[in-house]
Amino acid sequence: ENFFYEGEVDGGGLIREHRQRDVIFKAWKRLGMRDDDIGVLSDADETPTRDFLRAVQICDIPQLRVEEQDCHSPKLVMSSMVFEGSPECMTVTRKWMHPDFMLGKCIEGVGDDRYKLSARQRKREFAWRADKFSAKFNYSGWPKENELYPLWNPADFRRDTGGFSIMFEDVDYLPFRMGHTGFHFHNYFETTQQLRTKYMTYGHPVQTADEMAIGEIHPDLDLMVDCVLGKPSHQNKHRTLP
């Protein structure tokens, strides 16, 4: 089943993304998602590792204990290894902190609607929550007597702070020594025209991408080009494994 939103959008590309994910949330609800189910939110090029998925199935993870979860900081955030355009171009100076996991109890449309934020309590409709209703600002605008903190809509789930980064091993070839619990297969396209189309139309568009050299469009693409051509990456924003 495919989930998409093609209507008019007030707010730009990222609001379109959040509305598309809102359709997914509604499908979760329609298919019977419950408080103790786990939602996984990811882009098409992001995936958790098999080991982490298995750990979620069999391990006692504090953030996934339904009775103890108050939705203050409910996200489990993957630490993903980034492959830029090719499995031969592994980036070693960055981590991608997605995909994300969350109990249904804290997901808008699944959890208790008494704790749902109104559109006025958000930056705009379908957008992320206003600062005073976020973990970053210690929920300063949320009534202290409430049993739970606000439910998380798709925009919150994807981009708001309030969770725990999960990484398995300490690795000496990465500057931050962070192991990985996910993979980010970034910019995997068959043609350069598809690549240009992405950068002209996605949530952070580069309007003149069709007039630029591939490596000029974005630092990630500059790294990808050097990696594919076998050039050193020490002068790039990020570097690949030698």
Mean pLDDT of 73-90: 94
Reported as type and span, the H/E element at residue 75 is: strand 75-78
Please give the model's pTM, rounded to 2 decimal places: 0.88
Q: How confident is the model at residue 28 (pLDDT cuts 50, 70, 90)?
A: very high
Per-residue pLDDT reduced to its tens digit, 144-186: 999 999 999 999 999 998 888 876 666 666 656 667 899 999 9
* pLDDT tens-digit readout, 110-143: 999 999 999 999 998 889 999 999 999 999 999 9
Q: Kindly indicate the confidence band of residue 237, based on its pLDDT and cuts at 50, 70 and 90.
A: confident
pLDDT computed for residue 235 by the predictor: 86
Residue that wins the pLDDT comparison between 12 and 56: 56
Q: What is the pLDDT of residue 169?
A: 62
* CA dihedral of 192, 231, 80, 163, whole degrees rounded to 10: -100
- Per the prediction, the chain carries an average pLDDT of 90
**Residue 34: pLDDT band with limits 50, 70, 90:** very high
Share of the chain above pLDDT 70, in %: 90
The mean pLDDT of 69-82, rounded to a whole number, is: 94
Residue 10 dihedral angles phi and psi, to the nearest 5°: -105, 105
pLDDT at 3 over 70: no
pLDDT at 194: 96
d(CA 105, CA 34): 7
Q: What is the pLDDT of residues 102-115, one digit of tens each?
A: 999 999 999 999 99
Helix (H, G, I), strand (E, B) or coil at 28: helix
Quote the pLDDT of residue 164. Answer: 86
Q: Read off the pLDDT band of 187 (50, 70, 90).
A: very high
> What does the pLDDT average to over 39-63?
93
pLDDT for residue 19: 87
Above 70 in pLDDT, residue 2? no
Does the structure show a pLDDT above 90 at 221? Answer: yes
Dihedral of the alpha carbons of 115, 75, 49, 198, in degrees to the nearest 10: 80
d(CA 163, CA 136): 11
Report the SS3 class of residue 102.
strand
8-25 pLDDT, tens digit each? 766 666 888 888 899 999
**What is the rounded (10 degree) CA torsion for 226, 228, 234, 240?**
140
